[in-house]
Amino acid sequence: MKDHLVIFDTTLRDGEQSPGAAMSKEEKLRVARQLERMKVDVIEAGFAAASPGDFEAVRGIAETIRESTVCSLARTGFDDIDRAGEAIKPAARGRIHTFIATSPIHMEKKLRMSPDQVVEAAVAAVKRALTHTEDVEFSAEDAGRSDIDFLCRIFGAVIQAGARTINVPDTVGYSVPEQWGARIRTLIERVPGADKVIWSTHCHNDLGMAVANSLAAVVAGARQVECTMNGLGERAGNASLEEIVMAVRTRSDHFPVQTRIDATQIVPASKLVSQITGYPVQPNKAIVGANAFAHESGIHQDGVLKHRETYEIMRAEDVGWARNKLVLGKLSGRNAFKTRLAELGIVLESEERINQAFARFKELADKKQEIFDEDLHALVSDDAVPPEHERYKLAYLRVCSEIGETPKATLTLIQDGIEQKAEATGSGPVDATFKAIETVAQSQTELLLYSVNAITTGTDAQGEVTVRLARGGRVVNGNGADTDIIIASAKAYLNALNRLHLPEERINPQGGV
């Protein structure tokens, strides 16, 4: 029997620290349900002490998820620990993940604490966390640049205090696989009580080696990997869940572990996270990229046609690339629509929202012959901003664009319930549309990103637009989908403006490890 490798997903915490990737409570719940469907062992739902919105999201997930462990991150301060404990209280299985920095540069420059004080704080935090749950994880932030003797000391102390999981993070993505594997092996050999805990690794991708480092740790004895869908995360991101899982599965001859992940849910999870955060997946991304199983070379095509395994080491169907299709049209019933939403883990809290989503579904059914699961996720994402915070709504849009003429946009916005008409010219139809919106909104925001992706295939596919805006240190993403890409662009821009008025989204997501 192979050892079980615990998959600890931190998309909702560390992944959310990507600029503009902050999610609402409802969006976090949708992702959490999909992670549970994928059989993730531990879902790090957020940082409960970071904001009231984070607390409510963690608590909401703890109330909803029954099969996966729900975890909240916490610094070593007792206020943080207690807030995390309160948030995970409703969970069937709850965990508190507490951390403190252990590298000389962090202790001296950031914490301004002596090594003795750091050990004392870590032990006290673990003991406090144990008053809320038996499942306590401890992380030594910046362990990659920490003194190995000090790591042995602090890990031994927190194990004695009652920590069940010891996480060793490469917080700044500085390590290389050979070095990282050796560090994990040394710690397991030297730390008193090492055989009583699960050893974990959490690697960042600053040098592009997060997955390689994580797998080196597994070979060295780590039995938990902390990772995110699509490798999402601050800076260059985290180790990709999909790559970890499929590497272990595909190379079972090499890795002495197995996971319980339902790999057929990987691609749906990847698409959901991408749609909600507005972070597109690059086409050549391993496992979940659009080209991951595509073959352009004639030699490769010939080989695959004769025998798939000549050039494919995995089946596309095994990771969820079999296309799920909801064949409904404008005559289809509301109950079938609700049933499929429920199957996708989408729960709309009121009849009014269900009716609004169904009306948009009917409109889309008039434009498209086939509606896919991705289309349904996009329909719901369009409605992600609560009505009380929807300051701007598109009522009318007309754009003229022709060769030799300057594009012009004419539109009507509903601003705080009042119709506002505007028009503007621009270098292109999208530019003209955004400028027309700004004549009304005068938001003083900076446009950081404009991105367009086809949700599904075909010329009748919906285009999904992501707009990233910044103002006063705050960064938000807006999403919009429509078969008309100009309308989708206007929706995305207005969605971003509306998100600036969501109080639960914080300016600087707090994090660690």
Mean pLDDT rounded to a whole number for the chain: 89
- 154 in Cβ contact with 190 (< 8 Å): no
Q: In which band, very low, low, confident or very high, does the pLDDT at 392 lie, cut at 50, 70 and 90?
A: very high
**Lowest mean per-residue pLDDT among 106-115, 453-462, 484-493:** 453-462
d(CA 510, CA 78): 17
Query: So what's the pLDDT on residue 331?
Result: 57
Q: What phi and psi, each to the nearest 5 degrees, are found at residue 179?
A: -65, -45
- 12 in Cβ contact with 46 (< 8 Å): yes
Give me the percent of the chain exceeding a pLDDT of 70.
Answer: 90
Give the end-to-end CA distance of the chain in Å, rounded to a whole number.
32
Q: In which band, very low, low, confident or very high, does the pLDDT at 303 lie, cut at 50, 70 and 90?
A: low
Compute the average pLDDT of residues 301-307. Answer: 52
pTM: 0.84
Compute the average pLDDT of residues 272-292. Answer: 88
| CB-side neighbour CA atoms (13 Å) of 275 | 29
Residue 58: is its pLDDT beyond 70? yes
Query: So what's the pLDDT on residue 511?
Result: 66
* 3-state SS class at 178: helix
User: How many helices and strands (H and E) does the chain possess?
Assistant: 16, 18
d(CA 339, CA 83): 36
Indicate the residue type of 299.
I
- 267 in Cβ contact with 32 (< 8 Å): no
Query: So what's the pLDDT on residue 329?
Result: 57
Sequence-distant (6+) residues with CB within 8 A of 48 are: 54, 55, 58, 59, 72, 73, 74, 80, 83, 84, 86, 87, 88
Q: In which band, very low, low, confident or very high, does the pLDDT at 297 lie, cut at 50, 70 and 90?
A: very low
* 3-state SS class at 86: helix
Give the DSSP H or E segment for 395: strand 392-400
Q: Both tokens of residue 238?
A: 């985290």
Q: In which band, very low, low, confident or very high, does the pLDDT at 336 lie, cut at 50, 70 and 90?
A: confident
- 304 in Cβ contact with 403 (< 8 Å): no
Q: In which band, very low, low, confident or very high, does the pLDDT at 85 lie, cut at 50, 70 and 90?
A: very high
Indicate the residue type of 421.
K
Residue 300: is its pLDDT beyond 80? no
d(CA 101, CA 139): 8
Compute the average pLDDT of residues 382-404. Answer: 84
The per-residue pLDDT for range 13-46, each reduced to its tens digit, is 999 888 878 888 888 999 999 999 999 999 999 9
Q: In which band, very low, low, confident or very high, does the pLDDT at 507 lie, cut at 50, 70 and 90?
A: very low
Residue 505: is its pLDDT beyond 60? no
Q: In which band, very low, low, confident or very high, does the pLDDT at 510 lie, cut at 50, 70 and 90?
A: low
Q: What is the DSSP letter of 417?
A: T
